[in-house]
Structure 1
């Protein structure tokens, strides 16, 4: 068990950040899945910028690796273009 005030605070803040990261990561994964299942090009083009934004934010906060975000954006762009 932590003995210092700062260590207790760090435990609390780490848990809050972990839950926030988990929520944002899951939300992004669901948005990617939704985009991949779309058949309508117009709807996919409308959703694509928001998914890219989500991926950029996750990469910026180091929830996912920057290269993984880049690879996902590339594959999603190809998917939308192919519709």
Structure 2
């Protein structure tokens, strides 16, 4: 554990940011998986789940959690499956 006040604050801040980033990334992965299963099962709400997944991917890319080319690749593969 750090002794300097600013280092202590930095540790706290990093833990908070890490938790938030993990949440956004996990939500993105879950929505992608949900959209893919909806597409394979040919569900009625497949297009809605694809839209939601694309929104999550764009959100993660805008926050810098994934690279913009990775986001484009994920969106493209979802649209191709749709």
- Calculate the TM-score normalised by the size of structure 1: 0.85
Gapped runs of 5+ residues in structure 1? Answer: none
Write the deviation string for residues 3-24 of structure 1: whole angstroms up to 9, x where unpaired.
3212111110101111111121
User: In the alignment, is residue 76 of structure 1 matched against residue 81 of structure 2?
Assistant: no
- Calculate the TM-score normalised by the size of structure 2: 0.85
> What is the CA RMSD across the aligned residues, in angstroms?
1.4
Which 4+ runs in 1 deviate beyond 4 A? none
Aligned length: 80
Gapped runs of 5+ residues in structure 2? Answer: none
